[in-house]
Structure 1
Amino acid sequence: MYMPPQFNVTDRAVAAQLMRDHPFASLISNDDEGLPTVTHLPLVLDERGPDDFVLFGHCAKPNPHWRHLQARPRALVSFLGPHAYLSPSVYPDLARVPTWNYLAVHCTVEARLIEEAQEKDTLLKRLIGQHEPAYAQQWRDLGQDFQHKMLNGIVGFELKVTALQCKVKLNQHRKESHAAMFAVYGEGTSDERALADWMLRLGMAGEA
């Protein structure tokens, strides 16, 4: 993605936090005609080391995307964090224009399909553990026949991250806007409040 240097975050811990906080991602790869195919889906991040990230997810078997991954394993995953409009009213002068602030992570990945039942079951338990741990017992109680039917209806995948970009666009280069921007975002929508929290994390809230 387009990456002005003032918005480029190289700390992978920031990227990991964004991926965990906003796990509903866009998986993008090429179809058999060379056109982009996008599937929106939740992904689980596995940090195996500071520079070793792996994402896990699955799609419905009728979704042809898994076949595209099988033929062309290299793909892109996009995570979008909080985002919001920024009014030029936060500046002390009038010669300004509106903008949009946002946080995003793009991962280049190499895909491996997960088709064996036990490995797919482990994958589903990862998702359950992240989103609703209490459901794990209900899943076990549904019985092996039902579980097998459900597992047979999906194809899982392991996405090894081979490159990563993390963009945090919070007007870092316009310090004169930060105090008013933090005040506006702190009283705004859930996304705006989340951006205010990120300003705090990055030490921007007290600047004016």
Structure 2
Amino acid sequence: MYTPKYFEVQDSELILEFIKNYSFGTLLSSTKDFPIATHLPLDVYNKQGHTYLSGHFAYANPHWKLLKENPQVLVTFLGPHAYVSSSWYAQENVPTWNYVSVHVYGTAQLVEGEELELMLAKVLKKYEQGRDNGVLWDTLDPTFLKQEMKGIVGFKIKVEKVEASFKLSQNRNNDDYKSITNNLKNENDVSAIEVANWMEKMRPINEN
């Protein structure tokens, strides 16, 4: 991923936080003819000193079969993004686009049996816990679960390389940075406001 030094992030904890918060990723593989991509929710975790992503395909999705032939994959995560108007700078300039993204490269393998069940139970706990009448793994009928699991294929990816591009106007002076942040907050757009929040997280606007 092309990333100018201004926008490159190597803070592993910050990147992990980002992936957890924007966990709906795009899994890309290569075939001899063309690339193939699947959009799906992913979990990130550490085990025995290694970082992994995990998820599952619908059985009818042929992408999982490709992982057996070519396990090398790229997963992209895109966070908030927003247009930055050139009118927000003190000096004449051109508009741009701010965004937060992470690319993860690794080796995939299929998962089944108890390991897959534990993965699915963890996902349900993450998204259902705390909800009224939350549906957790242990509350579902075992016969129903056994039948439904025939319709999916689980996988995990051992992470080998991570690239993070947080393009948040770090190359601008403090006055412009503050102007961009404030104007994004005033946009009638949730993503723009999230970008402003990330800008304040990366560089507080009261910084001298």
- Give TM-score, length-normalised by structure 2: 0.91
- Per mean C-alpha deviation after superposition, the further-off stretch among 118-127 and 147-156 is 118-127
**Cα shift at 1:166:** 0.7
Q: Distance in 1 between matches of 2:67 and 2:155?
A: 9
Q: Does 1:174 align with 2:172?
A: yes
1:182 maps to a residue whose letter is: T
**Cα shift at 1:55:** 0.6
Identify the residue that residue 45 of structure 2 maps to in structure 1: 46
**Cα shift at 1:54:** 0.7
**Cα shift at 1:47:** 2.9
- Give TM-score, length-normalised by structure 1: 0.91
Q: Deviations over 1:133-162 (max 9, x none)?
A: 25344x434322210111111000011110
Identify the residue that residue 17 of structure 1 maps to in structure 2: 17
1:109–1:159 CA contact under 8 A, matched in 2: yes
**Cα shift at 1:178:** 0.5
Q: Distance in 1 between matches of 2:184 and 2:46?
A: 31
Q: Distance in 1 between matches of 2:195 and 2:47?
A: 28
**Cα shift at 1:119:** 2.0
2:17 maps to a residue whose letter is: Q
Q: Does 1:111 align with 2:108?
A: yes
Q: Distance in 1 between matches of 2:23 and 2:65?
A: 23
Structure 1 segments of 4+ aligned residues over 6 angstroms from their partners = none
Q: Distance in 2 between matches of 1:141 and 1:48?
A: 27
Stretches of structure 1 that go unaligned for 5 or more consecutive residues are none
Identify the residue that residue 99 of structure 1 maps to in structure 2: 96
Q: Does 1:89 align with 2:87?
A: yes
**Cα shift at 1:204:** 4.0
1:128 maps to a residue whose letter is: L
**Cα shift at 1:164:** 0.2
Q: Distance in 1 between matches of 2:128 and 2:110?
A: 24
1:126 maps to a residue whose letter is: K
Identify the residue that residue 186 of structure 1 maps to in structure 2: 185
Identify the residue that residue 72 of structure 1 maps to in structure 2: 70
**Cα shift at 1:207:** 5.2
1:28–1:38 CA contact under 8 A, matched in 2: yes
- Per mean C-alpha deviation after superposition, the further-off stretch among 196-205 and 14-23 is 196-205
1:178–1:207 CA contact under 8 A, matched in 2: no
Q: Deviations over 1:35-66 (max 9, x none)?
A: 110000000010347x7321110000110111
Identity of aligned residues (%): 34
2:117 to 115, 121, 127: 121
Number of aligned residue pairs: give it.
Answer: 203
